[in-house]
Amino acid sequence: MSDMISLENVTAKYGKTIVLKNISLSILQGEYVGIIGPNGSGKTTMLRLILGLIKPSTGNIMVFGKRLSRFHTTHRKRIGYLSQIQQIDSNFPITVKDVVMFGRCPRIGFFRGSSRKDREIVVQCLEEVKMLEYLNTPFGHLSSGQQQRVMIARVLAQEAEILFLDEPTTGIDIPTQTKIMDIIDGLHAKGMTIIHICHELHLFSQSLQKIICLKQSLYKMGNVSDVLRPEVLSGLYDTNIYSSHSNPYDTH
């Protein structure tokens, strides 16, 4: 498997403040990676760096085997991004179908009309997240969990190869969180590279292959059973984290 993303001695600053320090890591094609760390530890900043939205002050970032300085919109559309739920006014006049069609824009151009193929893709993507029956519903009328499923359909319509998830299940009820995790698992099974920032550690899928712990620098990186251990989490979050029950991931 080749590297999809690699960071080499990357340091990032906002103004004079260092928020990420000397990070080196790589993410393989098709890998499912979790990112954890306390608030303000630089998780979102790392995604913004990889998306090319901000530049590192030192170090190199490679995405799809290319230096990010040469990164270009044709690469950018190969990366899908899903953030926390956004508040949408319930009167905002946009339907579910329109939201998903927006995902096609990088492919078809903003000023060209959609083709029959684009409309078919929108239907398929909504079917994949089990939201097809809401095709013509105003987006603002949906619950936040349903909106998040539509936003996943939008990323699918973009035909992205890498999916970044920045706490997409925060503030969503547990059954819907589980549904969203199942959808993400399905995308990984189909070969998508997934990078998922998540605070709800219990939600992480069994198919997660690597966890990156950030605390300004790279605190630890390893497989689930190496990282989700009381002693690692206690150090990462500077607090005592006990395991009240045996760790389900513990294979030792």
Ligand X SMILES: Nc1ncnc2c1ncn2[C@@H]1O[C@H](COP(=O)(O)OP(=O)(O)O)[C@@H](O)[C@H]1O
Residue 216 binds which entry of ligand X, Mg ion, none, with Cβ cut-offs from 5 to 8 Å by kind? none
Give ∠ CA 24-29-34 in degrees, rounded to 5.
Answer: 60
Looking at beta carbons only, is 36 or 125 nearer to Mg ion?
A: 36
Q: How far is the CB of 171 from Mg ion (least distance, A)?
A: 14
CB of 45: closest distance to Mg ion in angstroms?
Answer: 8
> According to CB under 6 A, which residues from 109 to 138 bind ligand X?
none
Site string for Mg ion, 9-48 (x = CB under 5 A): ----------------------------------xx----
Q: Any contact of residue 14 with ligand X (CB under 6 A)? A: yes
Asked whether position 43 contacts ligand X by CB under 6 A, the answer is yes
Question: What amino acid occupies position 20?
Answer: L
Rg of the chain (C-alpha set)? 19
Is residue 83 close enough to count as binding ligand X by CB under 6 A? no
CB of 35 to Mg ion, least distance (A): 9
Q: Work out which of 22, 26, 44, 124 binds ligand X, going by CB under 6 A.
A: 44
Judged by CB under 6 A, does residue 39 bind ligand X?
A: yes
> Rule CB under 6 A: is residue 41 a binding residue for ligand X?
yes
Q: Is 158 an interacting residue with respect to ligand X (CB under 6 A)?
A: no
Q: What DSSP character marks residue 206?
A: T
E strand or H helix that includes residue 44: helix 43-50
83 binds Mg ion (CB under 5 A): no
> Which partner, Mg ion, ligand X, none, binds residue 34 by CB below 5 to 8 Å per kind?
none
The separation between CA 161 and the C-alpha centre of its own chain, rounded to angstroms, equals 12
3-state helix, strand, coil in the chain (%, to 5): 35, 25, 40
Number of residues that bind ligand X (CB under 6 A): 10
C-alpha dist (Å) from residue 222 to 43, 76, 123: 16, 28, 38
Structure tokens, 34: 């979790």
Question: How far apart, in Å, do the first and last CA atoms of the chain sit?
Answer: 27
Minimum Å gap between C-beta 47 and Mg ion is: 8
- Which entry of ligand X, Mg ion, none binds 37, CB below 5 to 8 A by partner kind? ligand X
Following DSSP, what letter does each residue of 113-143 receive, concatenated?
A: PP-HHHHHHHHHHHHHTT-GGGTTSBGGGS-
217 near Mg ion, judged by CB under 5 A: no
Judged by CB under 6 A, which of 32, 33, 34, 45 binds ligand X? 45
Instruction: Give the angle subtended at the CA of 160 by the CAs of 159 and 165, to the nearest 5°.
Output: 130
What does the chain come to in residues? 252
For residue 179, state whether it binds ligand X (rule: CB under 6 A). no
Beta strand residue intervals within 206-250, DSSP E: 210-215, 217-222
Note the residues at the interface with ligand X (CB under 6 A).
14, 19, 37, 39-45
